[in-house]
Amino acid sequence: MRFTSLAFFSGLLTVASAHFALQYPEPRGIRVADDEVNFCDGYPTAASNRSQFPLSGGFVSIESHHQGYTVGVIVSTAQNPSSFDNFTTAVDYFTYEQTGTLCFPINLNATGVSGIKDGANVTIQIVYNGGDGNLYQCADLTLNSTLTSVTNATCANATDTATSTSTSASATASTTNNSAQTFSGFSLAALLSVAGVAMSLL
């Protein structure tokens, strides 16, 4: 039937464009899945309305549509970073197996990147690879040392939802903060492979 086949093909298109979505902090521009292969999801200019973000003890939340992926975060202190050359690793690349939401800690103050301080404008770029190439989304931030947890956001992982459903954002943020080391030592091979792909795009 015509209707059935249309629905079938639209389903295929949805799968083909499913990559990942940055949920927190708020991304620069509305996510365009087909543009995620490009620097900052195809948005070349820093947002004028930056999000206040913890200088230390922050977290990033993404939704993955792929099962099994590599993700990391790079940061730039340039006011309007326009190339990967402007970025430095903030969260080492690591692998995660589950689809759905993943929340992981980010301590920008601990990166040692010059210019990262209270009140600084920075851009973070999430680098994600679910098996169909590197994908990117950016968020433009103003760092705030008085923010130690973020109350208006949820930080939960897809695998956690079955066992704990009512974790508060602040409690979870401090928990993830304490387990930052867990996320920092992931496979060097994954790091190099993602970095290699990123370098080849320069």
Minimum CB–partner distance for residue 10 and Cu ion (Å): 17
Minimum CB–partner distance for residue 130 and Cu ion (Å): 5
Q: Is 192 helix (H, G, I), strand (E, B) or coil?
A: helix
DSSP code string of 175-196: HHHHTHHHHHT--HHHHHHHHH
Residue with Cβ nearer Cu ion (11 or 115):
11
31 sits near Cu ion (criterion: CB under 5 A)? no
| Closest-approach residue to Cu ion (CB) | 19
d(CA 90, CA 110): 8
Stretch that binds Cu ion, among 69-77, 83-91, 123-131, 181-189 (CB under 5 A): 123-131
34 sits near Cu ion (criterion: CB under 5 A)? no
- Residue 93 phi/psi, 5° resolution? -65, 140
d(CA 86, CA 180): 24
Select from 132, 145, 182, 201 the one that contacts Cu ion (CB under 5 A). Answer: 132
Instruction: Compute, in degrees rounded to 10, the torsion defined by CA atoms 156, 160, 163, 169.
Output: -20
- Residue 109 phi/psi, 5° resolution? -65, -25
Residue with Cβ nearer Cu ion (21 or 155):
21
19 sits near Cu ion (criterion: CB under 5 A)? yes
Minimum CB–partner distance for residue 35 and Cu ion (Å): 12
Site residues (CB under 5 A) for Cu ion?
A: 19, 130, 132
